[in-house]
Structure 1
Amino acid sequence: MIPHVRRVTALCALTAALAACGSTRTAQAPRPAPSATSAAPSPAPPRAPTVAPGPGGLTPVFAHGPRTRGKTVALTFDADMTADQGPRAAAGERFDNPPLIATLRRLRVPATVFMTGRWAEEYPDQARSIGRDPGFEVANHSYSHYAFTDDCYGLPTVPRERMRSDVERAYAAFRKAGVPDPKPYFRFPGGCYDRAALRELAAAGVTAVQWDVVSGDAFATDADAVARQVLEGVRPGSVVVLHCTRSAAPVTERAVRTIVPGLRREGFRFVKVSELIGAANGQR
């Protein structure tokens, strides 16, 4: 859950070294030419845009899109579930929110869902449905939803040497659930990161995605207050952070029913994070 923004200034960069392979290679027989009846392979999905790294070897961080390229806004939803919450789910606590996803579909609002690997394991059918819906894109919110810094709203902490593997484990959980094209975007649990965390994730090749509008939906009980906070905070290119967990964000779906028409009346167009990053890269 993200009760407020934690701002950390960091150089956003990435350096990578490729190790050379040995020079000895085993000869292989040539592959037979495909027959005329062979099915053509499915085309690979287009590569998602990422933020260009700079000097320093740190993972790049993206907080919002261009302010001068039209009134676009990205609604993002964190599908939170920590690695140790299995017993709570087994006892009936709901960390999913099917009514919210249904409302986004009904209103035809594209969105980016930052999903934990543990959430995908608990709700594989929903993860697969979201991941295969062209109206959504799935991004990484870690496997465990443990913090990547100390003192992050009481979350347990991922050891530094396991940070990259925690992110990669989430991608493995998405693939196992049937998500075909998870994006190379990562949101730190709690929004908490520091220079060390950015350095540890550099080799994972992800862009860290933060936000510039906090919805305040975590543990909120007043949907109108959540909607008002979003409507007052959005600017062109904004990234709004909301949640996709019924137990910890019970009024989000109701708030969305106010947020969406309100922003549309102001002339905003809803996009996914990938479109905002593409616009920042000069892509239309």
Structure 2
Amino acid sequence: MIASVRRAAAVCVLAACTAAPSSCGAQRAPHIPARPAPSASAAPSRPPTLAPGPAGLTPVFSHGPRTRGRVVALTFDADMTAGQGPRAAAGEHFDNPGLIAALRALKVPATVFMTGRWAEQYPDQARAIARDPLFEVANHSYSHYAFTGDCYGLPTVPEERMRADVERAYTAFRKAGVRDALPYFRFPGGCHDRRSLRALSGLKVTAVQWDVVGGDAFATDADAVARQVLDGVRPGSVVVLHCTRSAAPVTERAVRAVVPELRARGYRFVKVSALIGAANGRPTLEK
């Protein structure tokens, strides 16, 4: 019970802090382009997605199979809202290059859910993450505004602009040089309902949630974050953490503690795409 409260509070605090009063200003952008067809000699490269839900709703993925070995996906939300430019200009750090360097040093594959505004603010970092085969980039909206009402104090995106907000993020990625952003979408705050799932159905994305909350939002005790992750991980888990120094300052230290311990327990780290592929019945998870 205490862990559940702590997890909910951590997500609440992060979402409320990143809220900004300005409009998200989302404009309709071109649809997400299809990836080029592979050559006859090349293996198919299209990332796995889940089939649509009932009535064609956007499918939701929370964890991989529990019986396909000790694998776990670490995911990191690179949060920045549409109205936080002045805070970044004043010196607030919404990035975390130390965390990315730690993941590289530890050779841990990971999925980064990036907002379009973050990619605009840190285009060099966004491009470097996307080009590193250790990582994959997915969509966390452009504005980091909520897709439902009453989502931890976040401003909300009107239903008629939800799809445009997601498309605008993909456009921001392309402008930053991120050309392989995956068709995975994480709702800001994790908040979604039937209306928002229906609004995004035409994009053919898979909504990615989680089953382990890292609790790193504004945490000051890296050991406590590490314990929360280690206590929650099960085979096939998706762990949500953050890639934002100002909002999650101890994440790097927590990851440095979590990774060797999970490896000692026999876990292997994979990207979210590998877990979704396993859920689709692919014979093996990526090495």
Q: Same fold (TM over 0.5)?
A: yes
Counterpart CA distance in 2 for 1:183 and 1:78 is 14
TM-fit CA distance, 1:53: 1.6
Q: What aligned pairs does 1:190-229 form with structure 2 within 5 A after superposition?
A: 190-229=189-228
Deviations 1:72-97 (A, max 9, x none): 00000000000000000000000000
TM-fit CA distance, 1:49: 0.1
TM-fit CA distance, 1:45: 7.2
Partner of 2:259: 260
Contact 2:113 2:186 in 1 (8 A): yes
Partner of 1:272: 271
The answer to whether the aligner puts 1:167 opposite 2:166 as a matched pair is: yes
Q: What aligned pairs does 1:69-148 form with structure 2 within 5 A after superposition?
A: 69-148=68-147
Contact 2:58 2:204 in 1 (8 A): yes
Partner of 2:21: none
Counterpart CA distance in 2 for 1:182 and 1:111 is 13
Q: TM-score, normalised by structure 1?
A: 0.85
Counterpart CA distance in 2 for 1:45 and 1:143 is 29
Partner of 2:49: 50
TM-fit CA distance, 1:56: 1.3
TM-fit CA distance, 1:189: 0.2
TM-fit CA distance, 1:57: 2.2
Partner of 2:16: none
**Structure 1 unaligned regions, length at least 5:** 6-39
TM-fit CA distance, 1:180: 2.1
Q: What aligned pairs does 1:9-24 form with structure 2 within 5 A after superposition?
A: none
Counterpart CA distance in 1 for 2:130 and 2:43 is 15
Contact 2:72 2:238 in 1 (8 A): yes
C-alpha spacing 1:280/1:241, structure 2 compared with 1 (3 Å): same
* Larger Rg over CA atoms: 1
Partner of 1:181: 180
TM-fit CA distance, 1:55: 2.7
Deviations 1:198-252 (A, max 9, x none): 0000001100000000000011110000000000100000000000000000000
Deviations 1:27-69 (A, max 9, x none): xxxxxxxxxxxxx9xx797000001123312100000000000
Counterpart CA distance in 1 for 2:138 and 2:53 is 22
Select the structure that is richer in helix.
2
**Structure 2 unaligned regions, length at least 5:** 1-6, 13-38
Counterpart CA distance in 2 for 1:227 and 1:89 is 28
SS in structure 1 of the partner of residue 54 of structure 2: coil
- The letter of the residue matching 2:205 is V
Contact 1:45 1:181 in 2 (8 A): no
Contact 2:11 2:217 in 1 (8 A): no
Counterpart CA distance in 2 for 1:161 and 1:242 is 30
Question: What RMSD, in angstroms, separates the aligned Cα atoms of the two structures?
Answer: 1.8
Q: TM-score, normalised by structure 2?
A: 0.84
Partner of 2:17: none
SS in structure 2 of the partner of residue 245 of structure 1: coil
- The letter of the residue matching 1:189 is P
TM-fit CA distance, 1:4: 4.3
Q: Which moved more, 1:53-62 or 1:216-225?
A: 53-62
Paired positions, count: 249
Counterpart CA distance in 2 for 1:278 and 1:212 is 17
SS in structure 2 of the partner of residue 70 of structure 1: coil
Counterpart CA distance in 1 for 2:67 and 2:11 is 26
